Structure 1
């Protein structure tokens, strides 16, 4: 039995790792150990609990107004105590957080094979998103296996010199999680949202929290307020717990009759809100994947994105972080039914619900415990000549 340590610290990591953990727990070939760094401690534990999962090791590094350097250093220090005692056969990190970077460095320092889940995303701009773009580029340099959600992500890694044999195209596990969550999302878990089922106004799910958006948070919040002033929309804002985010956004939108501010929702309730929303306006990475999967037009609060596939298919649109840009883009969708329908019908390029299965299959193949998994093939509308060539080369 191979000991698999999954290192995570934030709510998105918990969401995207949960389907993998569930399958590993059911597989007699593996012993999964869930390590929480505590970067977003409460939200992570609440999210895992929704999936019937729990943390095995809690490092509890969270500090009030923590810095990136301080957080990374504390995670590395905590893993220095954990790894020598448990000696995992492989470590998994996900995405591009401070936990991801620290976990990757720890595996490298202790000579533990490292698997990077959600590998190969690139915006092409080191400062956007910050620090995520830098983190994932650094992790790619020390990872032994790269689990890429899309073929475009695979191409990014190939251009950086990663051997093709070290990359597996899996799809994104966020789609696995969303499909599971949609089956059980029965309750809002917030009294302020209890009437959403009878809401006649258009519902906009809005959020912003990324560090590179902090200087523009008031402009973003002002855009939400101006949209709410129309009177025919209701904007729901699950507000991030970071004090810097709250101090910028709350003074602008608090008390508006058409804006509902709530604490971050439990995962199943959030799935219900995603499904109910008519539009998403967010800088969240998950929203760029979840919105298109549900056919919900998604406006991305950024000038560049690492998730280019939804922009290319038309399921999402980059609108920047200025008040005018956000208001103009949202107004078009609210007032132009053809524009709205075009985005709602666009193709979801991120998964078929089997990404976790391919992830476990890739681990088994790495340890010579099973065959190589089949690779994720996107919707036929996205199957380009380059994709077909790649498939033919892999099959030969």
Structure 2
């Protein structure tokens, strides 16, 4: 969009103080930090983001672009609607069809899609969801913009270093709200039992939320072959994903990235809004039951054919050109509406 002459403002929530994983250096984009620290109630958090966003509506942007299904994106959509500003939704149409899995993201993305004029669906399946639900905005299949950055970063990763360690390497993340409480306890119990087998080396990347971080530390901090890591920058996480033998995660972004890296991923959820990776064979939905996690891990490494199939790379979420398509569609939209895109606000 910058190359097409658009003036851009990037609005970041700052919900995790001291953690900045987004780089806006090229092209240089003015950045506004709302300093809205995350709250327990995500709907209250979205309301605070919307109120903070409103203070930066001068001059009003020609378009507000929200990415994803977070409280940040929902807050930006609320502000856009209040000021009657056109809204575009990047990563539109994802659906689990279960409000509680994931909660509250399913509610957020449905609400954003309902009010967006431009809906950028990452896949044909996501576009079908939007058309079936009768959204009023125009639907475009673009691929996922996260894959654009993923492909760029993969090309920049240092080569794999051969390790003398014969243990199988598991990479784990688990932080989603629907997994707080008993589900997370079950995941931790499974990792503890796997660690005691002596066959696995387990790296756990903890979420910045201090409550979740404390639970990991208390439950698994004393295991010799479990290493707990604070949040990693994107390139560091991609390297860890690429070098792992298996990923266990409830992260939506990691579900999208793993097929491109050729690393099998077990999804620690009851539902997923990203079924395409399951269909191409790199992802498997296993839930959070302790015994099932252990059984699935053991069975995977006991079957060379199944492991090889899950390691086959695929591109279920786009070809890495989503940003180009989105910029072109937005430019065409402005051309048809005779509105000069003087400024655009992007919220994530």
Same fold (TM over 0.5): yes
* Aligned residue number for residue 72 of structure 2: 99
SS in structure 1 of the partner of residue 22 of structure 2 = helix
The equivalent residue for 1:75 is 49
Q: How far did 1:264 drift?
A: 0.7
User: Residue 58 of structure 1 aligns with which residue?
Assistant: 33
2:133 paired with 1:160? yes
> Structure 1: 5+ residue runs without aligned partners?
1-23, 189-194, 370-396
Q: 2:335 is paired with a residue of what secondary structure?
A: coil
| Matches for 1:367-382 after TM superposition, within 5 Å | 367-368=334-335
TM-fit CA distance, 1:206: 0.3
Who is 2:197 aligned against? 230
1:258 aligns with 2:230: no
TM-score normalised by length of structure 2: 0.90
1:367 alignment partner, SS class: helix
Q: Secondary structure at the match of 1:306?
A: coil
Question: After the TM superposition, which residues 376-395 of structure 1 pair with which residues of structure 2 at under 5 Å, given as runs?
Answer: none
CA distance in 2, matches of 1:222, 1:51: 44
Answer 1 or 2: higher relative contact order, Cα 8 Å, separation at least 6: 2
Match of 1:302 in 2: 269
Relative to 1, partners in 2 of residues 1:209 and 1:50: Cα closer, same or farther, differing over 3 Å? farther
- Counterpart for residue 242 of structure 1: 209
**Secondary structure, in 3 states, of the residue corresponding to 1:42?**
coil
- Secondary structure of the 1:317 match is strand
Matched with 1:21 is none
Q: CA deviation at 1:357?
A: 0.9
Please name the residue that 2:339 is paired with.
none
Which position in structure 2 is the counterpart of 1:178?
150
The residue aligned with 2:345 is none
Distance 1:257 1:155 in 2: 48
Aligned residue number for residue 382 of structure 1: none
SS in 2 for 1:34: strand
The offset of 1:178, in angstroms, is 1.1
Aligned positions, number:
336
The question of whether the paired residues in 2 share the 8 Å contact of 1:101 and 1:135 is answered with yes
Contact 2:176 2:251 in 1 (8 A): yes
Whether 1:37 and 2:22 are equivalent positions in the alignment is no
Whole-Å separation in 2 of the counterparts to 1:124 and 1:337: 34
Provide the C-alpha distance between the structure 1 equivalents of 2:226 and 2:120, rounded to a whole number of angstroms: 39
* Bigger helix share: 1
3-state SS in 2 of match to 1:236: strand
Q: 2:180 is matched with which residue?
A: 214
Which of these residues, 6, 22, 28, is aligned with residue 47 of structure 1?
A: 22
The 1-side partners of 2:193 and 2:25 are apart by: 35
C-alpha deviation, 1:269, in angstroms: 1.1
Structure 2: distance between partners of 1:202 and 1:230: 11
| Aligned-partner Cα distance in 1 for 2:162–2:207 | 21
**1:246 Cα offset (Å):** 1.7
1:191-210, aligned counterparts within 5 Å?
198-210=164-176
The separation in 2 between residues aligned to 1:328 and 1:245, in whole angstroms, is: 25
Structure 2 residue ranges without an equivalent (≥5): 337-348
Q: Secondary structure, in 3 states, of the residue corresponding to 1:333?
A: helix
CA distance in structure 2 between the aligned counterparts of 1:47 and 1:332, rounded to whole angstroms:
38
Deviations 1:54-108 (A, max 9, x none): 6611110115x5432331221111112111x121010100111111111111111
| Distance in structure 2 (CA, Å) of the matches to 1:68 and 1:148 | 24
